[in-house]
Amino acid sequence: MSKLLMYLKTDTFRKNLIAALVVIVLLFLGIYFGLRAYTQHGVSIEVPQVKGMHINQAIDALERADLEYYVDSVYQMDMKPGLVIEQDPEPKAHVKTGRTIYLTVITQVPPDVAFPNIIDKTFIEASAMLRNQSLKVGDTVYIADIARDVVLDVKFAGQPLKAGRMVPKGSKITLVLGNGRGANEVEMPNLIGLSLDEAKFALTGVGLNLGSVTYAGSIADSLAAKVVGQLPDTTAGIVSIGTAVNLTLSNN
CA triple 196-201-203, angle to 5 deg: 95
Count of domains observed in the chain: 4
> Residue 51 above 80 pLDDT?
yes
C-alpha atoms less than 13 angstroms from C-alpha of 98 in its C-beta half-sphere: 4
Strands 100-106, 84-88: pairing is antiparallel
pTM for the structure as a whole:
0.48
CA triple 128-110-153, angle to 5 deg: 40
- Pair (117, 172) in one structural domain: yes
What CATH number does the domain containing 232 carry?
3.30.10.20
The strand pairing partners of 136, in sequence order, are 172
CA distance 171 to 136: 6
CA distance 252 to 249: 9
- CA 175, chain centre distance (Å): 17
Backbone angles phi, psi at 80, to 5 degrees: -65, 125
Of 156, 178, 200, which residue sits at a domain end? 178
Of 56, 90, 106, which residue sits at a domain end? 106
pLDDT band at 43 (very low <50, low <70, confident <90, very high): low
Of 153, 178, 203, which residue sits at a domain end? 178
- Pair (238, 201) in one structural domain: yes
- Pair (98, 76) in one structural domain: yes
**In terms of residue numbers, what domain contains 67?**
45-106
pLDDT digits (tens, 9 = 90+) for 85-120: 999 999 888 888 889 999 999 987 888 899 999 999
- Pair (34, 89) in one structural domain: no
